[in-house]
Structure 1
């Protein structure tokens, strides 16, 4: 068994020579074994659950500190001799379960039981048992006669009762203390290959400065030792020639229930040394059965509690602190196992609250745990009430917002083309409130309607000088309507908004980048749709434009920001273009697809910078319904799916921003256009009709204007 376990600890093994002795060393093997059984096979979790449910008294035993305890005269000498004779006479017959049943009651007396349960801090069960015969010839071939620890869970015990005495055979169980063992584990001797264990480790201990002082008990027949073979190095000292040593062995592991119950209902101890991996599923089954019982959980109508398993399931999933949860279940099972007084979840909640409150008066050592239990109950009730009301129309700002509108619904027919997709009004402004906007082409369609519908649209910069050398796409000198508060052009990505605020208030230095296009004009990569006839025109306009930006953000009390794309182009200095590169720009840019968090961070910085200079600033976020013109991800995404991904990312980012900020709001223009307008699109299927924009602005007014 141990040979196969150690082979699973896949670590490099080295040879170490000390004073002519060769030792096999496998550093880290002890930690690997701990993880292997504790985490991979669930023994640690099972032990913790067993401890959480344990309520019997414990005693002050040296077993806890030293990991070993000697109990003299546990079995009478006559029984010991009888077992030796039966073993020699019929080594197979003595393995019968009836023999084990007799020995279990003889060995696990109240005294030994107290030491074991105090060591585990829980109940325990017997994994396997055996009668071993060790002879002098085992010194070279026997694995147990060489210094080792047993490969298994950290928390397990062996109980060895010597059937004949030291005076007869000269054999003993030699052991080192835990400090010495830990040093041997650290260097890697413990849990190296089983077949390469050593009889003489004194030179190794001397080299490691380990206090090599083997101890033993020199047992008489019937004497018993309890020890943790994982925690202390040990070996069976070989007996004198012709005088074999006989010993009765038991292996124990923690359990949630008493060893007798385990033996009767789950697993009877097997004969001879067993693989802990074989027992792991049984431990898990015991743990699971103790949590939910062997029966099913029946949930009745109208929150009825139909059976005890349902009540247990609720308690153990509501109360997060294990001890109070187990005590509540135990109390219920003892006092009302048929649920005479508990018929519904409401009865059960009253019951567990009553019991928990009563415990505060006398279980002083569990005060904190019971207070936590009451908090858990309160949290459960809040969640319960919240869950029940999720689909209820009561207290909803818009009762029609719960279910998808269906024109063929039997009772409540409704078409999505007849609704506005918002929940509550946010009257944060009137028509006199200074308002601005920025974003994609959809944003300046909205800006046009703000200006024609009597809103106080902030205009900090026009372009009315025909000799300035500055040209704004779609605007002629003297036009009544502008596309933007200032001539920043259209912006499709969230970093561009951040850069506007950074420029306006000097939070970042920007390189003055000019790219010449094929017509001889110059382009500013940060101002899409704005071109310059000469470099001189660009420089003459630069500071005036930044001043206009600053004036816009200081003047606006409400600003509508329309996010367009999550694909963008980043320049080598870390800044972002407002749209796409021309042919002579590709050596200075790389394509980016921004995450939700990146979009959140960029818009948050835009907002925070302006808010610091203009405390009255409020931001209304929308997502442009206008789909991609092109995608830079065509090697992995069709433009249709890339567009869906982009809008989804931006929509989630908008939600997080609004949830995180008091003065941010969401305008569901994307939802209105894509779902609630039957004929929204122009002939190109990308841009919207003017009537569509009118409906968006009308919804804006209904939501935000007093």
Structure 2
């Protein structure tokens, strides 16, 4: 019998509730942080964006960016435009639908349709596209040409996927942008369904392949919108339906990243996870839309990860504390103190015995406010 060769295994010792255990941990072991760690200034960078960063920061003010998809795409476009980045989908003179209604393209089917139509001239059998007032958007060749012009110039596509519930035409299989105008609804052919992981994965792969074919040097960043469903057409609660809707897309994106991410063209930006796992109570009273401070922090973090022109440490800290304030982890008065650069207001808040909603986060929050105090004094 041959003697087995010696093999070295790496083990990591952990202690849980006074019991020592030894487990083989493998090559990567990333733990879920506690409240104290999630209150630190670099929490989102350390615990959420880890593993999703590009190999190099390549976005500059000269990078030509096209951003569209669900309504969260508009937040990305608006922020980057205010920071003087080159956002092609902000051209108010264009009639391209990705400009006029880009944040209304909420599922992977309709985003794929825009690329198939613009790059390869595909036309669809019925009127699938409608504006905010239910007006029909046709397949006008001039609009297609303007869309193609935008896509053909783009260096970076930022595509935001929103939901996996769709209305579709049973006869043709065509999927609508959103639901169907009341006057056009035909119950014999217009149906609702939840799409599958495989369908969405196929759509996003097709988008990737079309961009690689027609814009081979362009980068693609996919995001999942954190904005939940306003309603579902399923006979179940909207909250549970939303969980499924987001999960379908998140799995499709993750599977594609595992298959194609190493090529260096397809990327994922975890805005969904930043909202749902970093902040205490990230939504406004409607439980759908995000406070401005939370949105601004996510965009500032995007710059820190993706852009050559880096935000300063002071900018990051101010946006982080303002976002914590807006999402209820610390006093809501902090956001105002930061906006006004009020040292007096800041010190008044710091004088309180308790700052953080979670006692475990208290030390980290106080340390950050002391840093901010030093900045305001300087």
Q: TM-score range by the shorter chain?
A: 0.5 to 0.7
RMSD, matched Cα: 3.0
Question: Cα distance, 1:623 vs. partner?
Answer: 0.6
Q: Verify the 8 A CA contact 2:74 2:103 in the aligned structure 1.
A: no
Question: Cα distance, 1:529 vs. partner?
Answer: 2.5
| Distance in 2 of aligned mates of 1:579 and 1:404 | 36
Match of residue 32 from structure 2: 404
3-state SS in 1 of match to 2:216: coil
Match of 1:586 among 179, 182, 185: 185
- Asked if residue 498 in structure 1 is aligned to residue 115 in structure 2, the reply is no
Match of residue 49 from structure 2: 422
- Asked if residue 575 in structure 1 is aligned to residue 207 in structure 2, the reply is no
3-state SS in 2 of match to 1:620: strand
Pick closer, same or farther for the CA change 1:586–1:404 going to 2, 3 Å.
same
Question: Cα distance, 1:507 vs. partner?
Answer: 4.9
Gaps in structure 2 of 5+ consecutive residues: 13-22, 309-378
Pick closer, same or farther for the CA change 1:590–1:669 going to 2, 3 Å.
same
Q: Verify the 8 A CA contact 2:70 2:102 in the aligned structure 1.
A: no
- Asked if residue 529 in structure 1 is aligned to residue 152 in structure 2, the reply is no
3-state SS in 1 of match to 2:257: helix
| Distance in 2 of aligned mates of 1:490 and 1:654 | 20
| Distance in 2 of aligned mates of 1:551 and 1:628 | 33
Match of residue 291 from structure 1: none
- TM-score for both structures, normalised by structure 1: 0.37
Structure number with greater CO (CA < 8 Å, separation at least 6) is 2
Match of residue 289 from structure 1: none
Pick closer, same or farther for the CA change 1:506–1:668 going to 2, 3 Å.
same
| Distance in 2 of aligned mates of 1:684 and 1:692 | 15
Q: Verify the 8 A CA contact 1:488 1:530 in the aligned structure 2.
A: no
Match of residue 363 from structure 2: none
Structure whose CA Rg is larger: 1
Q: Verify the 8 A CA contact 1:565 1:647 in the aligned structure 2.
A: yes
Match of residue 276 from structure 1: none
| Distance in 2 of aligned mates of 1:462 and 1:675 | 35
- Asked if residue 353 in structure 1 is aligned to residue 5 in structure 2, the reply is yes
Match of residue 19 from structure 2: none
Q: List 4+ stretches of structure 1 deviating above 6 A.
A: 381-386
| Distance in 1 of aligned mates of 2:225 and 2:283 | 13
The aligned runs of 1:510-549 (5 Å cut-off) are 510-511=124-125, 513=127, 525-529=128-132, 542-549=140-147
Question: Cα distance, 1:489 vs. partner?
Answer: 5.2
- Asked if residue 627 in structure 1 is aligned to residue 279 in structure 2, the reply is no
- Asked if residue 647 in structure 1 is aligned to residue 246 in structure 2, the reply is yes
Q: Verify the 8 A CA contact 2:70 2:104 in the aligned structure 1.
A: yes
Gaps in structure 1 of 5+ consecutive residues: 1-326, 329-350, 355-376, 393-401, 408-412, 465-469, 473-483, 514-524
Q: What does the per-residue CA deviation read over 1:271-318, in whole Å, with 9 as the maximum and x for residues that have no partner?
A: xxxxxxxxxxxxxxxxxxxxxxxxxxxxxxxxxxxxxxxxxxxxxxxx
| Distance in 1 of aligned mates of 2:288 and 2:90 | 30
**How many residues are matched?**
285
- Asked if residue 699 in structure 1 is aligned to residue 272 in structure 2, the reply is no
More displaced stretch, 421-430 vs 611-620: 421-430
Question: Cα distance, 1:666 vs. partner?
Answer: 0.7
Pick closer, same or farther for the CA change 1:388–1:680 going to 2, 3 Å.
closer
- Asked if residue 677 in structure 1 is aligned to residue 307 in structure 2, the reply is no
Match of residue 288 from structure 2: 686
| Distance in 1 of aligned mates of 2:158 and 2:10 | 36
Question: Cα distance, 1:616 vs. partner?
Answer: 1.2
| Distance in 2 of aligned mates of 1:618 and 1:530 | 33
Q: What does the per-residue CA deviation read over 1:650-671, in whole Å, with 9 as the maximum and x for residues that have no partner?
A: 1111111222222111101001
Match of residue 605 from structure 1: 206
Q: What does the per-residue CA deviation read over 1:163-204, in whole Å, with 9 as the maximum and x for residues that have no partner?
A: xxxxxxxxxxxxxxxxxxxxxxxxxxxxxxxxxxxxxxxxxx
Q: Verify the 8 A CA contact 1:443 1:561 in the aligned structure 2.
A: yes
| Distance in 2 of aligned mates of 1:531 and 1:548 | 22
Question: Cα distance, 1:693 vs. partner?
Answer: 1.4
Pick closer, same or farther for the CA change 1:570–1:416 going to 2, 3 Å.
farther
| Distance in 1 of aligned mates of 2:50 and 2:10 | 23
| Distance in 1 of aligned mates of 2:225 and 2:39 | 20
3-state SS in 2 of match to 1:529: coil
Q: Verify the 8 A CA contact 2:66 2:154 in the aligned structure 1.
A: yes
- TM-score for both structures, normalised by structure 2: 0.68
Pick closer, same or farther for the CA change 1:630–1:612 going to 2, 3 Å.
same
Q: Verify the 8 A CA contact 2:164 2:248 in the aligned structure 1.
A: yes
- Asked if residue 556 in structure 1 is aligned to residue 154 in structure 2, the reply is yes
